[in-house]
Structure 1
Amino acid sequence: MMPMSKRPRATIRISPRANIVSGPSVRKAEVYRYLRVDAEPNWSQRVKEKEGEIMTIASRPPVTITFTSPIISAVELMYKRRVRGLVVVDARGALKGTVTAMDFIGYLGGSSYNIVRERHGGDIYRALNSETVESIMNPTPVYVLSNARITDALRVMVLNGIGFLPIIDKQGLPQGVVTEHDLVRHLVNKEISIKVTDVMTSNLVVTYSDDSIKRAAQLMSLYGFRRLPVVSREEGTIVGVVSALDIVSYFGSHTAFSVITGRNIEEALSTKVTEVMSKDIYTIKDSEDVSAAAELMNKLNTNSLIVIDEAGEAKGIITERDVLLALSLR
């Protein structure tokens, strides 16, 4: 039986042995230890057995937006389509960049926030309606051609540490995208004899229940995690999970505009994370096989799980990237 654990409206105590960090976190699954001397990834037998054309597992058609569109249009589109990223195109419809939920998070609490502050004076309406997607997109996206093999896409994603990869034809027109989720779903089919505890991130980057969504955005931008456990400062328990897409949805659904009285974006960003987080906490035991984590992520459509010990206490987190490395490399 799959070790599924969905705990709606429950709390999970953090193990006293867990490391809640305030400095940059380090993942155990280092990509470089899987590389051969020629810098080629050392693919697992699983990858060799499931080789094929990348378009067979791609999400298509891709969700696109023009680079001249206002940022609010990108946020609304990600919210409506429930996607983590968009392919940015030019007037011809050719690939020009990518914009993801994490790029928007960076606009709210990362390196791009200076645009909001200096160019728009903190005005939420100007910052979202006057500024274009071009200002926050990745203008030099990594991509693969539509005739690429699955290993070609895997190589690009593993070596560049990315989870959202556009697929284009020879004319530069987007044909689809492939994500870590697509690859994990394709590769999982049997146990791989690697335990969750061996590849999980033992450093828990968390936000607290009395933190603002701006603080959560700052943490996401700093550490590169799209989901953060939300911890009760008083009880020391995990009470929910907040994701980049939760924050995108807060703005994309226009809820942010309904709770503010003026135009200052800081008022919207002061909203507590508990107002936008999910109270459903998904867990997996540290002793389970990584393939079980992959199956659970696929079933629940989530990109991370809280790792618990035998006592049911949280000791780490495992993400789709951790799983992908374990499934595809050796």
Structure 2
Amino acid sequence: MKDKSSILRKSIKMGSVEHETKVSNKEGEIMAIASKDVISIPPTKSIKDTAKVMMEHEFRRLPIADPGSGKVLGIVTVMDILDFFGGGKKFNIIEKKYEDNFLAAINEPIREIMTRDVICLSDKSSIKDTIETMLSNQIGAIPLVDANDKLAGIVTERDIVLSLAGVLTEEVAQDYMSTKVFTTTPGTPIESACKIMVRNGLRRIPIVGGEADISKASKKLLGIVTSTDIIRYFNAKELFDNLNSNAASEVLKNIVSNIMAEDPITVSQTERIGDICALFAEKNIGGVPVTKDSEIIGIITEKDILNAIKTL
């Protein structure tokens, strides 16, 4: 059986990611792959401005910290934003509190939709413990705190996966990919796409269709839409310039074909996991459809790769 921590340490030393290879006695090994220059935001920042920060820095989550003490108060993820935009219960802020006034609702403070019960780990934590905590709690990032509970760093699924680029050479996609793939069609409204993502905990949905034969259309891959694509759409200046009203219903009626990535990057079922990690790093993506003869047969994401590490 392979030692998961040794695999990660080996990958760090190989230089697959630009991280420190020597960790001081005051820090755990997790700090060698964690981001130390953490961007956090105060709980008073608006939802609109939070989404802007996410897009500017290409983050999928942001810690919410007290400006004075630096202590973690919460975390906001792209899924929280999608929930607010129509995917779940947080949409009530737009629908009920603001009576469908989208422009007013997006100026609410981020504390209204942030996740408050944040799982944090010590900056002395091991890589193994961090992976197990992520998988057991189904979370994609963990803030790291020092002895004074002050935010010291953040580690994400991506940090771990990128450190494995080129390392896992025996394992292949078909052994770890998800074969239950949630898909939708090009004419799906963005609001419905948000619902699919939030209800099923998805960050991306393959778009299928384009065939007269329904059985084939349900498998033919046309594109992919991610949670980041949706937030980028809501954050676009052109959206606000072209609105005829403040109604959320107008914003949400647009369809996914207008924001999806066409000709998405795919891998075969025999692609090596280490090469997929390298692909994620090169293309700055967190998941890819697995195809065979132009039809989608699965999807593999950063979380699937963490599960691959767990089973080694």
Q: How high is the TM-score relative to the length of structure 1?
A: 0.81
- 1:101-140 Cα offsets, whole Å, 9 max, x none, are 11100112212112211111110111101x2111111101
User: CA separation in 2, counterparts of 1:118 and 1:326?
Assistant: 43
2:45 is matched with which residue? 69
1:156 is matched with which residue? 133
User: CA separation in 1, counterparts of 2:248 and 2:62?
Assistant: 24
- Does the CA-based 8 Å contact 1:47-1:328 persist in structure 2? no
User: CA separation in 2, counterparts of 1:275 and 1:143?
Assistant: 38
Superposition deviation, residue 329 in structure 1: 3.0
- Aligned length in residues: 286
1:141 is matched with which residue? 118
User: CA separation in 2, counterparts of 1:251 and 1:314?
Assistant: 28
User: CA separation in 1, counterparts of 2:44 and 2:201?
Assistant: 26
Q: Which runs of 5+ in 1 are unaligned?
A: 1-42
**2:101 maps to 1:126:** no
- Does the CA-based 8 Å contact 1:79-1:253 persist in structure 2? no
Q: Secondary structure of 2:74's match?
A: strand
- Does the CA-based 8 Å contact 2:164-2:277 persist in structure 1? no
**2:234 maps to 1:276:** no
Superposition deviation, residue 44 in structure 1: 4.0
More displaced 10-residue stretch of structure 1: 168-177 or 314-323:
168-177
- Does the CA-based 8 Å contact 1:50-1:187 persist in structure 2? yes
Q: Which runs of 5+ in 2 are unaligned?
A: 10-27
Q: Secondary structure of 1:274's match?
A: helix
- 1:59-88 Cα offsets, whole Å, 9 max, x none, are 231121111211111111111111111110
Structure 1 residue aligned with 2:227, among 209, 230, 244?
244
- Does the CA-based 8 Å contact 2:157-2:302 persist in structure 1? yes
- Does the CA-based 8 Å contact 2:54-2:62 persist in structure 1? yes
Superposition deviation, residue 312 in structure 1: 3.6
User: CA separation in 2, counterparts of 1:152 and 1:197?
Assistant: 26
| Structure 1 counterpart of 2:306, one-letter code | L
Structure 1 residue aligned with 2:207, among 215, 222, 230?
230
More displaced 10-residue stretch of structure 1: 108-117 or 253-262:
253-262
Q: Secondary structure of 1:317's match?
A: strand
2:281 is matched with which residue? 298
Structure 2 residue aligned with 1:53, among 22, 26, 29?
29
User: CA separation in 1, counterparts of 2:279 and 2:238?
Assistant: 31
Q: How does 1:1-330 map to 2 (within 5 A)?
A: 44-51=2-9, 53-92=29-68, 93-108=70-85, 109-129=87-107, 131-232=108-209, 234=211, 236=217, 237-309=220-292, 311-330=293-312
Q: Secondary structure of 1:190's match?
A: coil
Q: Secondary structure of 2:262's match?
A: coil
Q: Secondary structure of 1:147's match?
A: coil
Change (3 A) 1:214 1:44: farther
Q: Which has the higher helix share?
A: 2
User: CA separation in 1, counterparts of 2:176 and 2:199?
Assistant: 21
More displaced 10-residue stretch of structure 1: 291-300 or 161-170:
291-300
User: CA separation in 2, counterparts of 1:300 and 1:127?
Assistant: 34
User: CA separation in 2, counterparts of 1:191 and 1:152?
Assistant: 20
Q: Secondary structure of 1:281's match?
A: coil
User: CA separation in 2, counterparts of 1:44 and 1:124?
Assistant: 51
Q: Secondary structure of 1:208's match?
A: coil
Identical pairs, percent: 29
- Does the CA-based 8 Å contact 1:85-1:100 persist in structure 2? yes
User: CA separation in 1, counterparts of 2:259 and 2:58?
Assistant: 15
- 1:224-248 Cα offsets, whole Å, 9 max, x none, are 1101112236552322111111111
User: CA separation in 1, counterparts of 2:241 and 2:211?
Assistant: 30
| Structure 2 counterpart of 1:329, one-letter code | T
